Chain A
Amino acid sequence: MRLESKVTIRLFYYYSFQKNEKICIVEDNPDISFILDYFLREEGFDVIVFATIREFKKGILVELPDLFLLDVMLPDGDGITLCEQLKNDKATSTIPVLIMSAHASFDKVRQTTCANGFINKPFDLNDMLNMITEQLRSA
């Protein structure tokens, strides 16, 4: 029921802009990025996935997304630092950033970063979708 209404909202977005909103995922675990990519595409988003910060920095220049979804622990850095960099860059400072974390000291993470939202792993896909739509609507 709830999911359906979200879908309606997504469809509304889809038809009103005629162009899918783009979500950029930085996640090194291929299983997680696979399912997120699949899920979000099903929900009508364009999705671009990077496994490392290096790849992300090389690839992101092509086209800016409408939202960043970052993992905290990455092989060549961490999502929190990346988030800070994005927020300090004029080009990306207004794009919402959501951080996915499985870390035990989650509360600490919450205090020290500038992200627009946090998603605790393991997450519920509907919850994640709610957060994403909320961020896109208020952005």
Chain B
Amino acid sequence: MNDLANALSNQALLNILLLSNDATAIYTGEQLTIQWVNEGMLTIWGKEKSIRGTCFEDALPEMKGQPFTELLKEVWRNGEDYEAKNSRADLVVNGKLQPFYFDFKYRAIKDEKGEMCCILHTATEVGDRMRAWELVQMREESEQQIQEELIAVNEEYQVTNEQLEQTLLAVKNLQNQLSQLVTTSPVGMTILKGPDLVIEMANSHMLQIWRRTYDQVINKKLLTVFPELVGQPFPEMLQKVLITGTPIMLKEIAVSIKDVEGNTKNIFVDFAYEPLQDTAGKIISVMATVSDITNIVDIRTELEANEKELHRLNEELEASNEEYRATNEEIYALNEEYTAINEALNRSNEELTTVKTQLEVANKLLTESNTILNSENVALTEAESKTLALFEDAPVAIGILSGEELIISIANNELLKLWGKSPKILGKPLATALPELEGQHFLNLLVEVMQTGKAYNGNDEKVFLERGGKLGTYYFSYVYKPLMRDGGKPHSVMVVAYEVTTQVETRKAIEEANERFELALNAGQLGSYDLDLRTGKMLCSEQCKINFGLSPEDRFDFEDLINIILPEFREYVQQKVDAAVAQNHVYAAEYEIQCSDKSRRWIQATGLPRYDQEGKAVRIIGVTQDISKRKAYEQRKDDFLGIASHELKTPITVLKANLQMLNRLQHKITDTMALTLISNATASMDKISKLIEDLLNINKHTHGKLELNKSFFDLAKLLKNCCNHIVLEGKYELHVDVPNSLPVFADEQRIDQVLINFVNNAVKYASESRIIHLTAELQEYEIKVCVKDSGKGIPENQMPHLFDRYWQANSSDEKYTGLGLGLFICSEIITRHGGRIGANSELGVGSTFWFTLPIVKSESTS
């Protein structure tokens, strides 16, 4: 730099600067004396070269009030540069103050000592740039303005548009509504346009009133369609509405209308003519609404007629009513008269009844006297007609004893036979002829009859008589009749006797038998009854009532019996009675009753039905017994069994578990005998478990506690798998022959129990039979399962007891173990399932045990 400075003189430097395009000026001192300025700057300033050497302020007076002078002075004072861009300066160019824009720099130039030497001012006129920029800005501004205006206009337009749309919509809605109103209105509506009354619109109702189709009327003149209207007032009225704009309403107008065939019809209508205006308010058409009220008018007319008729009838009725009232009064008067007469009649009647009663009493007295007279007459006639010959051959013993000594004057053969005497006794006194009568009361009786004249009747009286030399006891019925002459004292007694020894003895025997029977019944506390099945009445012995906790005088019919039985037994008793009657076998039932004192008793009743000739059951006769004590014993026994089996179970549980654990240790046991012993013990333990299970089961059965856990299962599957244990033993072969599927509704476990029991029995009692057949077949109403062995069979006399409780096959040469409960339990299980159980056997051939189960339709299989 120094080199350069040295190389160039100051003037040279200034000349170089002169060539610079940039406007340049150099100021010195506080006064900012313009030391040097180039053409560029002069052009900017708009000044001549002459301003060189003058003060800045003087050279550019317009700078006063502008910041530049002060800025330059600052630069001079502080020695710091100042730079600005796009700065505006107002300058007088060509005598006019104008704004200009510059980028400019005031540079503080210092000498070697750091003292201010001069200020170098460079400036670039950026007026073009600024103007261009201003122009752009202005244009943008105007564009924005235009745009804003546009938006405003647009918005206005849009608002207008929306309003228009709304209006349009409203109009459309109105049109729609109108159209809808017109078409759906329940009254007839039409719009008639212009003075020609062209039918512009008509709803279906209107068409109906007009009796025209849509096509027949639309866009046609009203008077063309309905020429009959010419001369009627309506066209004129319509024109009037069109001209004046005043609506017209008319009610119940008669109109005659022709249908298309030309038939005129009179109808009644309600009218309304409404003017319709266009937007300008001009009336262009008329809306006519018409409702056909012909029906209403007709009905009203009819109603009016009816009312009139009703009114007339009412009046007539009123008249009749009055008449009726008059008649009624007459009747009332008559009635009163009648009542009076009636009362009089009643009184006479009562009097008559009294007289009649008196008469009846008199009559009765007369009848009685007559009867007495009659009987006397008969006696007289009898006495008169008696003959000895008659006596002799009479089949009745007859005799006459005469006088106080009772001489046997007459005694027929029959009497002699009765007495066991010969005719020799005739003429002898009775006491002599029949000395055995001494001490018996007959002689005294005869004397009394003789003395009093009153007859004596003896019935079934015991007499000791000697017949054939032997004194015996005989029975007689007899009459001692006094015989009198002329109403005086009796002179003799007629004896008529009839021996009843056989009858009396039979009767006595029956009585005794009955007594013994009664005694036996009473001793056994058996009450007897006789039930009439038709009436439900029951004849009961005293004991019978006592059994039921009743006193002898209490009523006890079948109804009472049912009521005294505990409700849970009622149906059972009724079923038993019905079954006995239906099958003519013994009725037997055990049930519990509740006596009137609330105590309970168990009753056992048996009976046999009796039938009439037509085979209809009429009675059941039988006995009842109070078995409460026996039941209590049974209960105690069952309780005992229950407790015993329960108590036995605990040690067995221990035993079983111990054996099982011992069995698990068998690999540690070397002695084979020990293993055998364990196995034997296990087998025995299983048997004892089974026995106890049976005991417990029997207990459950008697308590009715055997609960069936029924489900649908396949019996065929059960049959195929049930007795694998037998097959496993190897000694027996089980031949199973069953259908593929046998769905049943039953307790699977219990049925399995029955099957195992059957098969085990076959093994146990027919051990010589190697093959056991297990078959099942589907019959009409049931499924039958059979277990057949070929053992030696069961003796016939044992067959009825097979299913009895505690029954054991009693084979003399073999010993069987068990409680004899197996088949009994099987029978209980099957019976509870509603099935049957049984056995067939043939000695030497084998036995078949079978049971059936009813077929039940299952949901799962049907």
Q: Do the two chains belong together in a single complex?
A: yes
A-B contact pairs, 25 of them (CB 8 A): A29-B654, A31-B650, A31-B654, A32-B653, A32-B654, A35-B654, A35-B661, A38-B661, A39-B660, A42-B661, A42-B664, A102-B650, A103-B646, A104-B645, A104-B699, A108-B705, A121-B649, A121-B650, A121-B653, A122-B657, A122-B689, A123-B653, A125-B657, A125-B661, A126-B660
Interface members, chain A 79-131 (any B CB < 8 Å): 102-105, 107-108, 121-126
Q: Closest 6 interchain pairs by CB?
A: A102-B649, A122-B653, A31-B654, A35-B657, A104-B642, A122-B652
**Across-interface contacts of B705 in A (CB, < 8 A):** 105, 107-108
- Closest Cβ of chain B to A38, distance in Å, is 7
Given contacts A31-B650, A35-B657, A122-B655, 20 further A-B contacts (CB under 8 A): A31-B654, A32-B653, A35-B654, A35-B661, A36-B657, A39-B657, A102-B650, A104-B645, A104-B699, A105-B705, A107-B700, A108-B705, A121-B650, A122-B649, A122-B653, A122-B689, A123-B656, A123-B657, A124-B660, A125-B661
| Residue in A3, A35, A102, A105 whose CB lies within 8 Å of B658 | A35
Q: Is the CB of B661 within 8 A of A32?
A: no
Q: Give Cα A107–Cα B664 distance, bound, in whole angstroms.
A: 32
B661 to chain A, nearest CB (A): 6
Select which of B650, B656, B700 is within 8 A of A104 by beta carbon: B700
Minimum C-beta distance from A130 to chain B (A):
14
B696 contacts partner chain A, Cβ-Cβ < 8 Å: yes
B267 CB, nearest partner CB in chain A, Å: 85
Identify which of A3, A31, A104, A121 gathers the most chain B CB atoms within 10 Å of its CB.
A104
Residues of chain B contacted by A108 (CB below 8 angstroms):
705
When distances are taken between beta carbons in the complex, the residues of chain B under 8 Å from A29 are: 650, 654
Q: Do B654 and A107 have beta carbons less than 8 Å apart? A: no
Partner of A102, one of B646, B660, B707: B646
Interface residues of B in 621-670 (CB under 8 A from A): 642, 645-646, 649-658, 660-661, 664
Contact of B656 among A38, A42, A107, A122 (CB under 8 A): A122
Contacts of B650 in A (CB 8 A): 29, 31-32, 102, 121
How near does chain B come to A8, taking the closest CB pair, in angstroms? 16
| A107-B705, A107-B707 known; A102+B657 contact, CB < 8 A | no
Q: Which of A32, A36, A38, A104 contacts B646 (CB 8 A)?
A: A104
Query: Measured between alpha carbons, how far is A3 from B645 in the docked complex, in Å?
Result: 30
- Measured between beta carbons, the chain A residues less than 8 angstroms from B696 are 104
Instruction: Write the nearest CB–CB distance from B666 to chain A, whole angstroms.
Output: 13
Min C-beta distance of B653 to chain A, whole Å: 4
Chain A residues touching B, majority SS: helix
Which residues, 24 to 40 on A, are CB-close (under 8 Å) to B? 29, 31-32, 35-36, 38-39
B656 contact set on A, CB distance < 8 A: 122-124
> Please, how many angstroms separate the alpha-carbon atoms of A139 and B705 in the complex?
33
CB distance from B605 to the nearest CB of A (A): 29
Query: What residues on A are CB-neighbors of B654 within 8 Å?
Result: 29, 31-32, 35
Q: Give Cα distance in the complex from A107 to B705, angstroms.
A: 8
CA A35 to CA B654, docked complex, whole Å: 7
Chain B residues within an 8 Å CB radius of A122: 649, 652-653, 655-657, 689
**B-side contacts of A35, CB under 8 Å:** 654, 657-658, 661
* Alpha-carbon distance A132/B657, docked complex (angstroms): 16
A24 to B649 Cα, complex, angstroms: 22
Q: Which residue of the partner chain A has the closest CB to B707?
A: A107
In the assembly, what is the distance between CA of A99 and CA of B646, in Å?
A: 16
B657 near A32 with CB under 8 A, answer yes
Please determine whether B646 and A125 come into contact, CB atoms closer than 8 angstroms: no
Chain A 46-100 residues near chain B, CB threshold 8 A: none
Residues of chain A with a CB closer than 8 A to B655's CB: 122
| Chain A positions within 8 Å of B658 at CB level | 35
B660: A residues at CB distance < 8 A: 39, 124-126
| Complex alpha-carbon distance, A121 and B653, angstroms | 6
Contact A39 B661 (CB under 8 A): yes
Q: Which residue of A lies closest to B641 (CB)?
A: A104
- Chain A's nearest CB lies how many Å from the CB of B667? 13
* B634 shortest CB reach to chain A, Å: 15
- In the bound complex, residues from chain B placing their C-beta under 8 Å from that of A32 are 650, 653-654, 657
Among A3, A38, A103, A121, which residue has the most Cβ atoms of chain B within 10 A?
Answer: A121
Q: Which of B693-709 contact A (CB under 8 A)?
A: 696, 699-700, 705, 707
The complex places the Cα of A103 from the Cα of B642 at a distance, in Å, of: 8
Assembly CA distance A126 to B664 (angstroms): 11
Q: How far is the CA of A117 from the CA of B531 in the complex (A)?
A: 53
> Smallest Cβ distance from B320 to chain A, in angstroms?
83
Residues of B within 8 A of A123 (CB): 653, 656-657
Chain B residue at minimal CB-CB distance from A35: B657
* Contact digits for B228-267, partner A, Cβ 8 Å, 1 yes 0 no: 0000000000000000000000000000000000000000
A127, B468: Cα distance in complex, Å: 97
- Across the two chains, which residue of chain A brings its CB closest to B658? A35
Return A33 CB to nearest CB of chain B, in Å.
10
CA distance A102 to B649 in the complex (A): 6
